[in-house]
A = this chain, B = another copy of it.
């Protein structure tokens, strides 16, 4: 599929490479392609960079891999016309580090970042997924335990969820739990306060939960 990844941090870079490895046609959106391509970690990466304003024009799927507090602004630069009708895979978390570690959530409980994105871009088909694991695990679920841990896909649009589930399978995910309704993103984002503390206690971000039932 033609996928535009928004965000040039470790999550955007890792996802772009992972999706490209899985055979997809990936382009990464950034405010300043020249500046980004000059960074050491982007050198020789082989992932094309484009300005935010054009990156999603031909995309079938747009991935929000920006910092949560900057997501609405970055997606605004992508443009609602370029998001309309597209599957918008939201992997971001509304983590607020302004008071230090552990971070708090800038939105929670009665709302979520995913729902804010959906309200800001009502014609996009938002699906929340992958925000519950660290970047390296997103694209390599086999790196944790026996590789059979759980990932979630929450959204209002069943067809969009199916597209995301397909991408998750391409990345190697076996146990995908679909949640009908984007409000479920509240639960997925509120996993983060436990996740960051477990990262501290375990001394690694390379872990995940397996939903046992």
On A, residues with C-beta under 8 Å from B are 102, 104-105, 108-110, 144-146, 149, 177-180, 183-184, 186-188, 190-191, 193-198, 201-202, 204, 206-213
The answer to whether A186 touches B193 (Cβ under 8 A) is: yes
The distance in angstroms between the C-alpha atoms of A184 and B202, with both chains bound, is 13
Copies of this protein, total? 2
23 A-B pairs in the complex with CB atoms less than 8 angstroms apart: A105-B109, A108-B108, A108-B109, A108-B190, A109-B193, A144-B212, A146-B212, A178-B201, A179-B201, A184-B197, A187-B194, A187-B195, A187-B196, A187-B197, A187-B198, A190-B190, A190-B191, A191-B194, A204-B213, A207-B211, A208-B212, A209-B210, A209-B212
Q: Counting chain B CB atoms within 10 Å of each CB, which of A144, A146, A186, A210 scores highest?
A: A210
The distance in angstroms between the C-alpha atoms of A212 and B202, with both chains bound, is 11
A184 to B, closest residue via Cβ:
B197
- Chain B neighbourhood of A195, CB < 8 A: 187
The answer to whether B191 touches A202 (Cβ under 8 A) is: no
CB distance from A145 to the nearest CB of B (A): 4
- Chain B neighbourhood of A197, CB < 8 A: 179, 184, 186-187
The answer to whether B209 touches A213 (Cβ under 8 A) is: no
The distance in angstroms between the C-alpha atoms of A198 and B132, with both chains bound, is 14
Task: Select which of B102, B149, B191, B193 is within 8 A of A212 by beta carbon.
Answer: B149
The distance in angstroms between the C-alpha atoms of A146 and B146, with both chains bound, is 15
- Chain B neighbourhood of A191, CB < 8 A: 190-191, 194
- Chain B neighbourhood of A211, CB < 8 A: 198, 207, 209
Task: Select which of B104, B110, B146, B178 is within 8 A of A109 by beta carbon.
Answer: B104
CB distance from A118 to the nearest CB of B (A): 17
Task: Select which of B108, B207, B209, B213 is within 8 A of A145 by beta carbon.
Answer: B213
- Chain B neighbourhood of A184, CB < 8 A: 197, 201
Given A177-B201, A179-B197, do A212 and B210 touch, yes or no (CB 8 Å)? yes
A186 to B, closest residue via Cβ:
B193
- Chain B neighbourhood of A206, CB < 8 A: 213
Task: Select which of B104, B109, B180 is within 8 A of A201 by beta carbon.
Answer: B180
